Chains A and B, each alone.
Chain A
């Protein structure tokens, strides 16, 4: 329908800089997620796109149209909230019809549109009810219907699933995704749940403290985190982080908690050029395993088992390396005793190294290309 673009957008509330010089592009007809912790400015970005807030600096474009100065009603966006925000004094039908009635559309046409969108969301039987007579999932479907009934070009979702229970969340997640694909609408979904973003979005923009940390496909953001924040925000449990010291004797080595680790071949050159003294070693829990004896072809670090948490499908083993704890996902049958001396064995191609000062991934963010 339309591509949404933010160009150097900043938004301040008094002294608080909620959004800081953000450049973002939400491709036409795709599902994008804005992912970030609480207070990172996700909702503010969404409200800027909706026109509720005016940017302090910068421009917002829908396709070629500069909408920066347009009021919300002229932007043709649909907005869905975490708390649904249905009007309690109106029936479901009236709630959905409300945006159309404001446009003074003929009642018959309104009726048709409300019925169509209700069918789409499977709420035909609820039209006579009041919001307080609905379950959370039903209310959220009504809110979606209200947002979609005026056939918006952009659908904005502000944590629409957070108030739903885990099972319902999965259902509505799938439903929203199905709708978005069917309508080919440009959707922007705000969430702080990285699993939700991974499963729904075509593109993810990771936000922290008002700034964009990384934009990419779910695969890229997960596997090629641009900086330490993204690496430690994505994943459950998130990436493990260990401080390392670079030793430049007989080639390049990394001292991790007292043991010498040989960096993978592809990083040696980068490290040599970088002149770093320290480095942060990171890897995902599922990209390592715990073994009693180190094997060839892996990066092995001696560690001591701290605790094992069985989760049914897998177990999370926490081990200590130096003073830092490391979590590793293991098959459920793996058994380790606390205090046992083991090796953490990392797949070399999955190892990540970050500059401790800039916190950038030395592979992804080359100098001069930040």
Chain B
């Protein structure tokens, strides 16, 4: 009798699989499960057998009627959409400008744009906190006061007559400047790996820098653009670290400055309503998944996948 040999695939996969199951799959299903329970104060023994849709109904009702949650929904949509466009388009523009730039210039340029990502979150947020600070000592205020554009300091993230746009502008700017370097690095390295002859040929054929970008360079970045878009979309939907600090320090309005992810975090850890927070998180994951698939579809991911470079 032959003893069946274990498939070596499992040997290689098991460590990663173990980690994924313990730290990702189990918590995910656990979250989904508690989103159907009225769990309070992490009292697992008491609430775990009361299954209902109540959290989702409450969430839906609040999103429609609670003025604060409505603000969060609007903020999320605006924040994710505009920051995404800013990140992808900005990254593309930065990469292209560096591509046409002299090598000696492009290196410091790249460094400057990567700086926000390399700076610790707290330090980076603090810089912006002081920049938008509401009294005369705020960088922006003191600058504008000196230039005579404004007469008295403005509370950029809080003042009711500037909301909601000002709070949105701040969180978009703060996150956008961190996110833009990702697209920049991906696009720039992709551009650099295109054959040099493509650029030379296009120039000899009479293409302006714009035409070359439009017809030769960007079409060849299609895959990278899709990748960066989906990646950034998913990370924007779930991001909250910088915003959390700015809200915490009072630099921006609590509701007009909170995207959904921060709302989930605050509900889960500053209130006792964990079942409800889990429901909010599950909604976020579902929406993220749907949007991600939608973007892939819209941008023709399928067509890309159907053209393998070689057969296996």
Contacts and interface: CB of A to CB of B under 8 A. Distances in A.
Task: Indicate whether A and B interact.
Answer: yes
Interface of A: 47, 50-52, 71-73, 75, 77-79, 81, 83, 85, 87-90, 98-99, 102-103, 132, 146, 150
A150 B205 contact: yes
B187 to A, nearest CB: 16
B220 interface: yes
Given A73-B204, A78-B204, A102-B206, A83 B222 contact: no
Given A83-B197, A85-B197, A98-B215, A52 B204 contact: yes
From B198, B201, B211, residue with most partner A Cβ within 10 Å: B201
Contacts of A150: 205-206
A185 B240 CA distance: 65
Given A81-B197, A87-B198, A87-B216, A102 B203 contact: no
Contacts of B28: none
B21 interface: no
Contacts of A79: 200-201, 204
B203 A89 contact: no
Contacts of A90: 219
Contact of A85 (B200, B206, B215, B309): B200
A165 to B, nearest CB: 20
Given A87-B216, A88-B220, A89-B222, A99 B205 contact: yes
15 contacts: A47-B200, A50-B204, A52-B203, A71-B203, A72-B203, A72-B204, A73-B204, A73-B205, A81-B200, A85-B195, A87-B220, A89-B219, A146-B201, A150-B205, A150-B206
From A47, A102, A146, residue with most partner B Cβ within 10 Å: A102
B203 A73 contact: yes
B300 to A, nearest CB: 12
Contacts, number: 57
A88 B193 CA distance: 14
B: contact size bracket: 10 to 19
A114 B58 CA distance: 65
Interface of B: 195, 197-198, 200-201, 203-207, 211, 215-216, 219-220, 222, 309
- Chain B, interface SS category: helix
B206 A99 contact: yes
Contacts of B309: 132
B200 A52 contact: yes
Contacts of A75: 204
A19 to B, nearest CB: 17
A98 B205 contact: yes
B157 to A, nearest CB: 44
A90 B222 CA distance: 13
A81 to B, nearest CB: 5
Nearest to A85: B197
B206 A73 contact: yes
Contacts of B195: 83, 85
Contacts of B200: 47, 50, 52, 79, 81, 85
B220 to A, nearest CB: 6
Nearest to A81: B197
Given A87-B216, A89-B220, A98-B215, A72 B197 contact: no
Given A78-B204, A88-B220, A102 B198 contact: no
Contacts of B215: 87, 98
B201 A81 contact: yes
B53 to A, nearest CB: 49
A347 B22 CA distance: 87
Contacts of B198: 85, 87
A102 B204 contact: no
Contacts of B207: 73, 102
A12 to B, nearest CB: 16
Contacts of A88: 220
A276 to B, nearest CB: 47
Nearest to A82: B197
A79 to B, nearest CB: 5
B271 to A, nearest CB: 52
A102 B205 CA distance: 8
Nearest to B197: A85
A73 B198 CA distance: 15
